[in-house]
Structure 1
Amino acid sequence: MGGAVLLAGAGGMLAWTNPGPAEFADFAAGRLVEEISSRVCESSTLPSVLGLAVADCAALVASQRTSLGAVVQRQTRRTNFGVLSVYHSQLGGQQVLRWRVPRFEATVVGVAGRFVIVQAREPGS
């Protein structure tokens, strides 16, 4: 009987701390800001004309965090199991200023108020 109560309590706690879509969008946007900054701002991928016009590429990318989160949210399917959620996202392929956004797929588990990337890959690689 005590084990069942303990198990029910643990399940209830996990369900209560199961992060929702808004938390996932914030998490994913943060990861995208890091990825875009490293791929575009810290490499020679940025077209030279744009590089001259943009004083602080990383700050420009970071300022788009909310928009990036909204894009991820639209491209993500959530499966909610109550005590945890599985998020599967497929992004990329768009052309932006002569730079093709890389295609990217990720599966992330949200549990106990945290996110764990289970799989992340660029299709075809």
Structure 2
Amino acid sequence: MPVAALSALGAGAICAAALAWTNPSREDYQDHAGEQLVDYATRELCGEKGLPMLLKLWIRDCPELIASQQQVLADLSGRFTTRWNFAIGSVYITRIGGQELLPGLRIPKAEVITLAVAGQFVPLRSETSAGGSE
């Protein structure tokens, strides 16, 4: 086998090993998803069309309340996420929401497909539908 071919094969093996080593874990994804869910829920629930007026009067700081639930949201995302692990990278599919939180108030639905590679998370597709009050 020529030296160039062996060098290319060796470089490819080193790159594959580096990608496998830096493939984010499921826990890393849950932390990432928790941060993303806080941002999303804050936009959906704390905005003008989010919570019913009575709840807006009762909840003083909606964004802070949601931010305080980041770990809960991260754990929740873990229950609704499927991981396809390809060793050099992973694909995560999270489907969450649609459940009734209070009478007339549903959790917004979201489906997110994310590529995890080299220690990074790259959203491939994101679909959401409004929750809020009906």
The TM-score, its normalising length taken from structure 2, stands at 0.87
- Identity of matched residues, %: 35
Report the Cα distance in structure 2 between the residues aligned to 1:122 and 1:34, rounded to whole angstroms. Answer: 13
The code of the aligned residue for 1:69 comes to A
Report the Cα distance in structure 2 between the residues aligned to 1:43 and 1:13, rounded to whole angstroms. Answer: 46
Matches within 5 A, 1:1-125: 1-97=6-102, 98-122=104-128
Structure 1 segments, 4+ long, off by >4 Å, are: none
Report the Cα distance in structure 2 between the residues aligned to 1:43 and 1:21, rounded to whole angstroms. Answer: 34
Secondary structure at the aligned position of 1:117 is classed as: strand
Higher Rg: 2
Shift of 1:40: 1.1
Query: RMSD of aligned C-alpha atoms?
Result: 1.2
Q: Which runs of 5+ in 1 are unaligned?
A: none
The code of the aligned residue for 1:72 comes to S
Report the Cα distance in structure 2 between the residues aligned to 1:35 and 1:20, rounded to whole angstroms. Answer: 22
Report the Cα distance in structure 2 between the residues aligned to 1:116 and 1:66, rounded to whole angstroms. Answer: 21
The code of the aligned residue for 2:59 comes to V
Question: Retained in 1: the 8 A contact 2:44–2:108?
Answer: no
Report the Cα distance in structure 2 between the residues aligned to 1:56 and 1:122, rounded to whole angstroms. Answer: 24
Report the Cα distance in structure 2 between the residues aligned to 1:44 and 1:78, rounded to whole angstroms. Answer: 33
Q: Which runs of 5+ in 2 are unaligned?
A: 1-5, 130-134
Q: Which moved more, 1:14-23 or 1:101-110?
A: 101-110
Aligned residues: 123
The TM-score, its normalising length taken from structure 1, stands at 0.92
Secondary structure at the aligned position of 2:123 is classed as: strand
Shift of 1:82: 0.2
The code of the aligned residue for 1:106 comes to V
